[in-house]
Structure 1
Amino acid sequence: MTDAVRAAETTGEPHILYVHFGAAPHPGAAHRAPHEGRYEELLALLTDITPLVQALPPDAALADVRGALRYFGRSAAELAQLVRLRALARHGTDCTVGVAASPLLARMAAQAGEPGRIRQVRPEEAAGFLDRRPVAALHGVGPATARTLCAYGLDSVGRVAAAPPATLQRILGAAQGRRLHERARGIDPTPVTPTAPARSAGAEHRFERDELDPVRRRSALLTLADDLGFRLRAEEQVARALSLTVRYADRSATTRTRALAEPTAHTPALAAAAYALHDALGLQRARVRGIALRAEELTAAERASRQLSFDVRDEKARRAEAAGDRARRRFGTAAARPAGSAPPRAA
């Protein structure tokens, strides 16, 4: 057994892997995640090593490999390399992997490195790694919270870590202030909880350049909602919740989820929920690199109930939607699109 294995078993040495499957999609593309159909197979690469795997759909997972170190006789970084090689050999999918002693640091390590690489943050390196990172890079800190902290001069993780906890609690509230102070020091006691990927469907849009215009972002959201709605209706499924992920120029991301008023695959309902999630983030001057929508908690449409409506406009919209679906099935997905959606790009 190597010294690295002994150290990880007895100390806070790296034993958490954050694995992001697949390379980034081509800018400007609105599409399904390239490995969506193989996501469960890619997760199986991790469960072959450890049972402690937490699915983070659509394209990531956390794994606690502490118990696997002795069995394989390898360090966490070496196990990460094994996962990467198997993903390439079996599925033709590259991986970006962060290795650290906590889920927070592992996630940040993966996001800070180049795509398709393995980056390890050891305990003695954690303070230096975090010190100059922008505060928005901390998992759970969205644009609104980042702006609030920057207004007080707390624009880096190092400055947040050095700030008195009482100051952060006055700015953000008691619970959030304590949690942020711990995360800024690399403390994240969150365990890796084994979960299976929930039934879901997603679509993503990458902008050609960092997008500041909220009108163009809303146009892209409408395109994604329309794509999801058409796919769900074709498969006779409905969603009970919708998730929005916004990816920024500094490689950080914010994800928000909202339960829908009723299970639906109706494009206007999905778009309205997407707009509400987007507007609640208060992005303003945020430089947005890409956005993704994910329909969560899918169920068969025949098992879901729908509130009857006496609104003639709603019934007309649903009939028009059904006609558009028939045109798409016959002439292709570009045959019918909602007004205001992002125009299709040439191949």
Structure 2
Amino acid sequence: MTGDRTRTGDGPHVLYVHFDGLGPATTERYEALLALLTDITPVVQALPPDAALADVRGALRYFGRDAAELAQLVRLRALALHGTDCTVGVAASPLLARMAAQAGEPGQVREVRPEETAAFLDRRPVAALHGVGPATARTLCAYGLDSVGRLAAAPPATLQRILGAAPGRRLHERARGIDPTPVTPTAPPRSATAEHRFERDELDAAHRRSTLLALADDLGFRLRAEGQVARALTLTVRYADRSATTRTRTLSEPTAHTPALAAAAYALHDALGLQRARVRGVALRAEELTAAELAARQLSFDVREEKARRAEAAADRARRRFGTAAVRPAGSSPPRAA
């Protein structure tokens, strides 16, 4: 055992657990894996569709193990009970735990101790810092701030001039490993996900948009079939270096209408500025689902919209009868097989 380390409040006590190999149709298994975590600690924050944060500070003394050993226990139980491997980052904050998990090959436990924080962050590319998307990374690299170490060494005033006061200050703190964000216990929200992994790094923005349209159409059909509407839409873009960017947009009104979902997906995608990004996969998640009959919908006097909804209903009937591939929206392309 590690003795005093299990009683050190500022030592590693946060686990970022990524459940490897989960897809959009594995909600039940994801919830079972979350239950496995709650058997160790009640402080579990769901990060659907395939990850979670766990604060194990209160479990260290009970189990007589340090955080890294508890992470190994999580991996062992997930494999034995659910046939699912995990990649686990262990650190003193959610930021460092997440980055530790993403710093190497899947299926490992990687720990960053407080005394190792500066060295760990110093050699990481700036794009690996959680919260830095491709557009922000390009801006920082244009100023020579291409590593987390250089970002940490830059004067805070410089970052505030480049990025703005609040984002610059927040990024400077993260570059030094400062992350006061607590792990907030949450259950997985009611959501539905559609995702696609490209067979090769996708550089073509037009093909990414056509794939997003196909995913939005799949989500819309599933929601309409279940009598559900979404209040928000989340886009996750995964890159060749195994990093990812996630953005969420609240919809103007709860909807399961494919054009509305696709428009939100396009806006999220275009805002990322992925001109040269090597995209490995994209996922859309419809959030905050509620029953369609309980959601208020603004009446429309646009004849074209009403025709589009009638055509959508007809297409849904055809899909239920002949299969989901029977009808596709114009402009979408079946995602290339992964």
Q: Which interval holds the TM-score relative to the shorter structure?
A: over 0.9
Q: Distance in 1 between matches of 2:215 and 2:208?
A: 11
Q: Per the alignment, do residues 10 and 344 of structure 1 end up closer, same or farther by CA in structure 2, a change over 3 Å counting?
A: closer
In structure 2, the gaps of 5 or more residues are none
Q: What secondary structure is seen at the aligned counterpart in 2 of 1:333?
A: coil
Report if the CA contact (8 A) 2:199-2:336 is conserved.
no
Whether 1:327 aligns to 2:318 is: yes
Report if the CA contact (8 A) 1:22-1:35 is conserved.
no
Report if the CA contact (8 A) 2:6-2:61 is conserved.
no
Aligned counterpart, 1:309: 300
Stretches of 4+ aligned residues off by more than 3 angstroms: 344-347
Report if the CA contact (8 A) 1:54-1:62 is conserved.
yes
Q: Which structure 2 residues correspond to residues 120-139 of structure 1 after superposition, within 5 A?
A: 120-139=111-130
Aligned counterpart, 1:114: 105
Q: Which structure 2 residues correspond to residues 63-102 of structure 1 after superposition, within 5 A?
A: 63-102=54-93
Relative to the length of structure 1, the TM-score reads: 0.94
Aligned counterpart, 1:160: 151
Offset from partner CA, 1:10-45 (integer Å, 9 cap, x none): 253211100011227xxxxxxx52532222211111
Q: Distance in 1 between matches of 2:154 and 2:145?
A: 8
Aligned counterpart, 2:176: 185
Whether 1:232 aligns to 2:231 is: no
Q: Per the alignment, do residues 346 and 281 of structure 1 end up closer, same or farther by CA in structure 2, a change over 3 Å counting?
A: closer
Q: What secondary structure is seen at the aligned counterpart in 2 of 1:295?
A: strand
In structure 1, the gaps of 5 or more residues are 25-31
Q: Distance in 2 between matches of 1:244 and 1:346?
A: 20
Q: What secondary structure is seen at the aligned counterpart in 2 of 1:260?
A: strand
Deviation at 1:55, TM superposition (A): 0.8
Whether 1:3 aligns to 2:2 is: yes
Deviation at 1:344, TM superposition (A): 5.2
Q: Distance in 1 between matches of 2:139 and 2:169?
A: 16
Whether 1:173 aligns to 2:164 is: yes
Q: Distance in 1 between matches of 2:9 and 2:293?
A: 53
Q: Per the alignment, do residues 11 and 37 of structure 1 end up closer, same or farther by CA in structure 2, a change over 3 Å counting?
A: closer
Q: Distance in 2 between matches of 1:35 and 1:9?
A: 37
Report the residue type matching 1:90 in the other structure: L
Question: Which of these residues, 225, 232, 242, is aligned with residue 241 of structure 1?
Answer: 232
Deviation at 1:273, TM superposition (A): 0.6
Aligned counterpart, 1:12: 10
Offset from partner CA, 1:130-180 (integer Å, 9 cap, x none): 112110110011111111111110001011011111211221122211211
Q: Distance in 1 between matches of 2:312 and 2:217?
A: 10
Report if the CA contact (8 A) 1:244-1:255 is conserved.
yes
Deviation at 1:316, TM superposition (A): 1.5
Report if the CA contact (8 A) 2:6-2:65 is conserved.
no
Aligned counterpart, 1:48: 39
Percent identity of paired positions between Structure 1 and Structure 2: 86
Report the residue type matching 2:261 in the other structure: L
Q: Distance in 1 between matches of 2:180 and 2:165?
A: 18
Q: Distance in 1 between matches of 2:240 and 2:327?
A: 32
When structure 1 is superposed on structure 2, of 247-256 and 226-235 the one drifting more is 247-256
Offset from partner CA, 1:26-80 (integer Å, 9 cap, x none): xxxxxx5253222221111111111111111111110010110000011111111
Q: Distance in 2 between matches of 1:146 and 1:207?
A: 23
Report if the CA contact (8 A) 1:54-1:195 is conserved.
yes
Q: Distance in 1 between matches of 2:59 and 2:295?
A: 43
Question: Which of these residues, 319, 322, 342, is aligned with residue 333 of structure 2?
Answer: 342
